[in-house]
Amino acid sequence: MTVEVLLSQRDRRVVTVPMNKTLKATVTLMRSENVDAVVITDICATEGEAVFGVLTRQDVIDALADYGLAAFAKPVSKLKTGNLVYCDVKLPVSRLIAMMQERAARYAVVMDHDSLVGLVNVSDILFSGYAAFAPAYGSGVN
């Protein structure tokens, strides 16, 4: 199974935010869009819109724990998740699992050449019924 097949089994919509957007505005967007993560983008003069990172619900919790209410005024570029995987849409899911495990990443940004096409998390793989998931991650994944 490829990542492309995995994406076809779920909503492929990806919510993006510019890297200078505040946490408050981003959290409001996440709530209205009912998503657990957003892709942070930057505008490059030579490449156009480029993926800069991902902000997850856990990143929001960590920011509030670290900075209190002052976190809401910070740009999301300063609060993004550290462990992130980028993959091609044609990558086998078994390889994606290995990459995510190597980096202890819960999310992977999916690209088709230079275009953002999806965001996959560990739950997407688990709920896809992909048989190789359990051996790769073991039974300790919550």
User: Per residue in 80-138, pLDDT tens?
Assistant: 987 789 999 999 999 999 999 999 999 999 999 888 999 999 888 888 776 554 454 44
Residue 41 near residue 17, CB atoms below 8 Å: yes
User: Per residue in 1-57, pLDDT tens?
Assistant: 899 999 988 777 899 999 999 999 999 999 999 999 999 998 776 666 788 899 999
CA atoms within 13 Å, Cβ hemisphere of 24: 7
Cα 81-97-17 angle, rounded to 5 deg? 30
